[in-house]
Chain A
């Protein structure tokens, strides 16, 4: 099979799995997850083949795997759909396929496959546990998710969207995959639709990302209008970019390229939860944890960054290497601001998943900032390493929650929130695998030097910012990185270290292999993936392994980015923020027992800088007011209803006239009754003919036949 065909085939297994599960195997949980996991494995296998074929090709950037065909005719041209795997695509495909596969596998354990049906479980609510009798003793064990099959169907659809997005060679199919993921995100956040909070979170996520998507669609339309194509390879030719760069638009003095890039970037802001559209992501933690891991850490939010990476040539059209363009400044500002802003909120959260959610926003901010200052390779690098360790952290937190739920079922005290970190503590002994893998993930997130992947990628961003003289960005990111390490260590300390703070934590239990195996695999990548991108001039380690990542991914761009000279300042900064943050985090929280003892529970941070309240006041309330007083009361009830009622009255009046002077006398009396009378009269008089005797009918028929036949014979033949 050619590589191109294989690429076409990558997204197919998950969508097939989706239809198979929805249409046929919905009843059988085992069959459904077999199909789901099998499809993910198939796609993973195909992706691996494609990836290894891709890294074997010299100058993949100039000669990528691509294939396309015409789809929708639009006048003289066609909207094309196609696939493209260039170095960036291959690198992204690598981590996407691994994380998707791992999360499919993890979901089997997370949704308690193999456990009995719950006592009172209903579809739309998380399972509540089942009572089992064993050796004469009753005890409560986790129960299987009632909508188990549906979950795998949604995951399949989601995986299809993600693969489509990654392998597509144009903005149109990228947008299609993007929107499919938006839908899946909505469905999966609201998976437990019985919970009002989940419902609201789903609607919030959908509406917020829609704001970004509208602008993105505008950008796509503008691009199509300006260039007549949506294919990456056709847009990113020098002539097209030059034309776009020199066309000026009336908005903020931006060039067409800059405007399009900014419009598309707004889509990213929505998708990747950047300030000011970040509000949906923390709420999205209402979904099941594999969903949080997959959509809201590893893949979908990465898609936003991926879109900007794809549009990088457009963003940097007028970029000369030093002076940032307006568009780039905006991007860099939003990225850096978000990174710091989200990190501050993360410090004050108590919910284990919410900490990670804000951490995700913050890390995405790192990438966006990197792209904003033109650090292309560093952004891609951080995107990939982050996907690995953030998926690991989310899955680890899911494992922790799962273990805690076990404890909750054991004690029967359902008041205890299994997600609150202050209810945990000392889990390192109960859940060793989860602890060690979580520790690796946390250190990678903090950028623990040398060993972890997070260090290398984050260091590269900092080095780029420093090396190109973007000091504001550099300092902001450094502070954000320090806080990252701090809240990570806070989380680890509260969760795993010390002594159990509740009975539930004492009875927590390690999770099944389907959940721990993905943790181990992801932990492996969270450590080792950093080693493929060690800068060549790095002391001691530089040059031990060639900086393969830089070479490979850098090849995507027409102009190969220069490797940066080594500078000791960003390195020291990295070391300090990582180690310092970790140390202070441990110091501050090693003895904390209750939220009251936590000095960082500052209201403004705890309440996320009051963004939800602000949006509520600024947008939601006015919208309600407007719709109630203006649209409903005045427009609908007053104007439109009034017009309609008038029509109604006039019509009724006309109808009365027609009825009394035309319908009743003419139609009813004359035509209706008259016809009936005539028919009745004819029928009464013809009735004797119908004797019910078949032979008489036959005779009559024959008489007529003979008469007519004779007449015809006489007239026509004789």
Chain B
């Protein structure tokens, strides 16, 4: 039997890898990829806690579904922003998009 901690550690690993991607990638699309990884790790957590808790309480799965919806919304808006920025400034490098500095 797989203990709960394995799932949680898998989730933590996925989260940290995603975090690494978010923090280090220069390409804005790649940053969003990292965000997806982090969201997935959260979903793994939710599903795991659902399975290892009281399975008749559907909260874990319900929240996972809602995270799906949020992820879809986030990607749609995020990529739309990236494309819009690309049209205006001809770049998707996050470091170059720094108009909001002093």
B-contacting residues of A (Cβ < 8 Å)? 687-688, 690-695, 698-699, 702
Contacts and interface: CB of A to CB of B under 8 A. Distances in A.
A688 B98 CA distance: 13
Contacts of B95: 693, 695
Given A695-B31, A695-B94, A690 B102 contact: yes
A187 B19 CA distance: 76
A699 B101 contact: no
B98 A693 contact: yes
Contact of B23 (A687, A690, A695): A695
B99 A692 contact: yes
A694 B94 CA distance: 7
A224 B98 CA distance: 79
Which 4 pairs between the two chains have the least Cβ-Cβ distance?
Answer: A692-B101, A692-B98, A687-B102, A692-B100
Contacts of A692: 97-102
B22 interface: yes
Contact of B94 (A688, A693, A702): A693
Contacts of A691: 98, 101
Nearest to B99: A692
A699 B23 contact: yes
B101 A690 contact: yes
23 contacts: A687-B102, A688-B102, A690-B102, A691-B98, A692-B97, A692-B98, A692-B100, A692-B102, A693-B94, A693-B98, A693-B101, A694-B94, A694-B97, A695-B22, A695-B23, A695-B24, A695-B31, A695-B94, A695-B95, A698-B23, A699-B23, A702-B19, A702-B23
A111 B99 CA distance: 70
A46 B19 CA distance: 79
A688 B100 CA distance: 12
Interface string B63-102: 0000000000000000000000000000000110111111
Nearest to A683: B102
Contacts of A694: 94, 97
A132 to B, nearest CB: 64
A172 B35 CA distance: 74
Nearest to A694: B94
A702 B22 CA distance: 12
B22 A698 contact: yes
B85 to A, nearest CB: 12
Given A692-B100, A694-B94, 5 more contacts: A690-B101, A691-B98, A693-B95, A695-B94, A699-B23
A148 B95 CA distance: 71
A706 to B, nearest CB: 11
A342 B98 CA distance: 93
A687 B101 CA distance: 8
A695 B102 CA distance: 16
Contacts of B23: 695, 698-699, 702
Contacts of A688: 102
B39 to A, nearest CB: 16
Contacts of A695: 22-24, 31, 94-95
Contacts of A690: 101-102
Nearest to B95: A693
Contacts of A702: 19, 23
